[in-house]
């Protein structure tokens, strides 16, 4: 297949491209540059500009682009987070909808932030949206794909959980203090963290491209979520380090504001119902196996 990928230089995109090429697909990047090289197409979502003619002839599109949400959410940062997802998705989908031969499938990144802080409730793709900044952003992000839906493109919106990678994301930020033996639970530790290994993220995207009956929102999380306290214990065991230095909730809120409230302290217990029903097989379904795969050396790197 000929596949177009946005966000190809990001955490997920960097892992996805080798997986797609290993399956024999021809991959082209949609990139923010004025001088695209071979196997690249230029676009500028901030300027509402994309070369629609160059988008003809693709079998599938994987849309991963979006502003990083890590860090304190100032008003300006929240606007960038929202616009990078909503405006970029709308621009791409409107362009795809106007093609003479649109792609058969659009795989669009989304997030389990859709569900908000839900305590111990088990959440599936049928669960309602939560309340807060992230649920609002994800609702609008997913709605921005409507032009592709209207053109009868099969749209799969992958609601990613916490992606385990040493190269970026939440785990990479946790590793320095944990490797120094300074890690611990966040807040009460009772909040649920729904995680997934990077291998399974790439596998789920490839699976979604090939599975013609899969459409709509799909939770991309492992089938065994963990509380923050359990996550902390397992990470300490894998790294052979104690985890006795908790981060109080009020300190997290002081340091990171709303981001701490909606990410670190929020409880989102998510089930990958549609992936399991479609027959997807997880390579790392349990947390300890996933962390040992991501961090095979185990020993600290100081």
Q: Where are the domains of the chain?
A: 2-294
Residue carrying the six token digits 């590793």: 175
Q: Which CATH architecture has domain 2-294?
A: 3-Layer(aba) Sandwich (3.40)
Burial class (CB in 10 A: 0-12, 13-18, 19+), 77: middle
> What pLDDT sits at residue 298?
54
> What pLDDT sits at residue 301?
46
Nearest to 26 by CA among 36, 37, 17, 14: 17
Residues of the chain with pLDDT under 50: 299-302
Q: Which two tokens stand for residue 183?
A: 């890690």
User: What span, in angstroms and rounded, lies between the C-alpha atoms of 145 and 249?
Assistant: 36
Contact at 8 Å (CB) between 173 and 255?
no
Phi-psi map region of 57: left, alpha, beta (phi>0 left; psi -120 to 50 alpha): left
User: What span, in angstroms and rounded, lies between the C-alpha atoms of 296 and 291?
Assistant: 8
Q: What is the pTM of this model?
A: 0.94
Burial class (CB in 10 A: 0-12, 13-18, 19+), 28: buried
> What pLDDT sits at residue 299?
45
Tell me whether strands 122-123 and 162-164 are parallel, antiparallel or unpaired. Answer: unpaired
What torsion, rounded to 10 degrees, do the Cα atoms 121, 119, 201, 218 define? Answer: 40
Other CB atoms within 10 Å distance of the CB of residue 213: 7
> What pLDDT sits at residue 71?
80
Tell me whether strands 154-160 and 105-111 are parallel, antiparallel or unpaired. Answer: parallel
């Amino acid at each position: 297949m000929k596949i177009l990928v946005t966000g190809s230089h990001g955490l997920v995109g960097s892992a996805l491209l080798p997986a797609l090429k290993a399956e024999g697909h021809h991959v082209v990047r949609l990139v923010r540059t004025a001088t695209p090289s071979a196997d690249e197409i230029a676009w500028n979502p901030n300027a509402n500009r994309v070369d629609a003619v160059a988008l003809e002839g693709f079998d599938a599109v994987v849309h991963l682009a979006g502003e990083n949400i890590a860090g304190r959410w100032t008003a300006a940062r929240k606007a960038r987070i929202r616009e990078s997802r909503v405006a970029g998705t709308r621009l791409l989908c409107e362009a795809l909808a106007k093609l003479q031969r649109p792609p058969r499938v659009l795989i669009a990144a989304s997030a389990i932030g859709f569900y908000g802080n839900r305590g111990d409730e088990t959440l599936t793709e049928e669960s309602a949206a939560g309340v807060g900044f992230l649920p609002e952003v994800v609702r609008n992000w997913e709605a921005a794909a409507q032009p592709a839906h209207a053109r009868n493109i099969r749209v799969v919106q992958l609601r990613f959980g916490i992606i385990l990678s040493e190269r970026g994301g939440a785990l990479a930020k946790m590793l320095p203090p944990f490797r120094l033996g300074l890690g611990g639970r966040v807040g009460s530790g009772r909040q649920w963290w729904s995680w997934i290994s990077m291998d399974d993220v790439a596998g789920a995207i490839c699976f979604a491209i090939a599975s013609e009956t899969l459409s709509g929102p799909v939770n991309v999380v492992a089938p065994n979520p963990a509380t923050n306290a359990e996550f902390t214990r397992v990470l300490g065991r894998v790294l052979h380090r104690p985890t006795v230095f908790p981060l109080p909730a009020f300190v997290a809120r002081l340091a990171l504001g709303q981001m701490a409230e909606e990410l670190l302290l929020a409880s989102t217990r998510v089930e990958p119902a549609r992936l399991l029903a479609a027959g997807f097989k997880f390579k790392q379904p349990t947390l300890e196996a996933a962390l040992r795969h991501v961090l095979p050396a185990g020993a600290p790197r100081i």
